[in-house]
Every structure is written in structure tokens, then in C-alpha cells.
Structure 1
Amino acid sequence: MNLNQATIKIKNLRLRTYIGINEEEVRNKQDVVVNVTIHYDAHQATSTDDMGDALNYKVITKSIIKLVEDNRFSLLEKLTADVLAIAAEHAWVTYAQVEVDKPHALRFSDSVSLTLSCNK
């Protein structure tokens, strides 16, 4: 059987960080919601059922949490790019996409989001 690339999706990872340039944003952590999509060739993992042959999404998620919660960001673009770098860093990754939502960023909107992606 010839399998397509695997797609890992980390959905609605809810974190808190310093994001923004206004005085209140600089002083107080805000909620952000992170969604990550990663493509990789999982042929070996589907054949062996061995964790060593799979992309470990738990490790990726822990790195994202540490990055977001331990840093300050002025721009949504920078935060999203830094998360994308983590999502795409493993050699097996062929494509990664990250969307970061900043809930309540605008008065009459549920959130503002930014999406970045990369092909390797």
C-alpha cells in the first residue's frame, strides 16, 4: 500500500503570553490560540509501529508552549514565525503551517489571527 504523507494537527493550543505594543498588553499576559499543521513521510512509522520512526508531536508541543509562555512579543507575525520554526525544524517535515489567534484583539471581533507556512 502506498500511503500519502501524514498530517499532524495540533488544534486550539490555548496559551498565555505577552503580545502587543499597547501599555496594557505589555503589562499583562493575554490568551493566544495556536493551531499547527505538519506534513511528514510516516511510511517508516506505519510499517514498524516504533515511536523512534514517528514525529513526536508531544515534544513539538512542549517546545511551542515553552517558547510562547516564556517570551514577549510585540507582533503576531514574530510569534507566529517563531512557532513555525519549531514546527518545521525536524528534518522529516516537508510542510508546516501555523495559525495564531489573538482573542478579543478587536472590539467587535472574536479574534485576529495570522497564518504563516513553509515548504521544505
Structure 2
Amino acid sequence: MPLSDADALATIRIKNLRLRTYIGIKEDEIQNQQDIVINVVLKYPADRAVAFNQIDEALNYRTITKKLIQHVEQGRFALLERLTRELLDLVMEHQQVLWAQVEVDKPHALRFSDSVSITLSAKRDLE
């Protein structure tokens, strides 16, 4: 029984990508790198990848992850919102991505809290 296009819409999850960067507005945050945790969920039509079983037909999540790592490690960010948006934009640069959500956690940002996170999403207009 062949898959329909709807059945071949793949969800890729990049879970708990742990990196260090300059993030924040306090003097010690500007001077010292901090841990962040990134989670990405994206959807793309995987019908050709399923049909041909070839890497060239699939969305290369390794390439996306490398771009995210490079951007985070080379950047300086005042706000989680800005960092999250920039990472979402990097994911959406890939034309195969129809929808994406990026969450960035800043562990220990608040006293008595495990972390603070920002989540942003985007959807490609197909018209």
C-alpha cells in the first residue's frame, strides 16, 4: 500500500543540543559564556526520501545542526528572543522545511528555576 503525501510528511526533532554562548544583559553574562539548550522540531515532505531511500532526497539535519552550532558559538546575544528567532530563520532557510519550532532554554536564569525558555515557530507559505 503506497504512502500518500500526507503520510510522508516527516517530523524531525533535534533534542537537547547543549551549547555555550554569550547571552544576557548583565555584565557577567556579557563577559562569560553560559549554557543553553536548543530543541528544534521541523516538518518536511519526505515522500522522495521514502521512495528513493537516498540521502540526496532527504532533508540533511546534520547540515542544519552544524549551522545552528556555528551561529550560537560565534555569536553574542542580549535576549533569548533574538537568539531563538535567528536560529528559527536558519532552519527556515532550507526550502524543504514547511514548518519549524525552535525552543532555547537558558538553565539557571532564574533563582529557584531549572531554566527559562523561549519558543518561536514559523510556517512556509506555499502559495
Task: Give the shorter-chain TM-score range.
Answer: over 0.9
Q: Which residue of 2 aligns with 1:17?
A: 21
1:63-102 equivalent positions in 2, closer than 5 A: 63-102=67-106
How much does 1:87 deviate? 1.2
Select 1:26's aligned residue among 27, 30, 33: 30
Alpha-carbon contact 1:6-1:39 (below 8 Å) kept: yes
Q: CA RMSD of the aligned region, Å?
A: 0.6
Does residue 43 of the first structure (1) align with residue 47 of the second (2)? yes
Alpha-carbon contact 2:8-2:50 (below 8 Å) kept: no
Alpha-carbon contact 2:14-2:41 (below 8 Å) kept: yes
Which structure: larger Rg? 2
Q: Which residue of 2 aligns with 1:118?
A: 122
Q: Which residue of 2 aligns with 1:104?
A: 108
Give the TM-score normalised by structure 1.
0.98
Q: How many residues align?
A: 120
The 1:6–1:59 alpha-carbon spacing in structure 2 relative to 1, beyond 3 Å, is: same
Percent of aligned pairs sharing the same letter: 57
Give the TM-score normalised by structure 2.
0.93
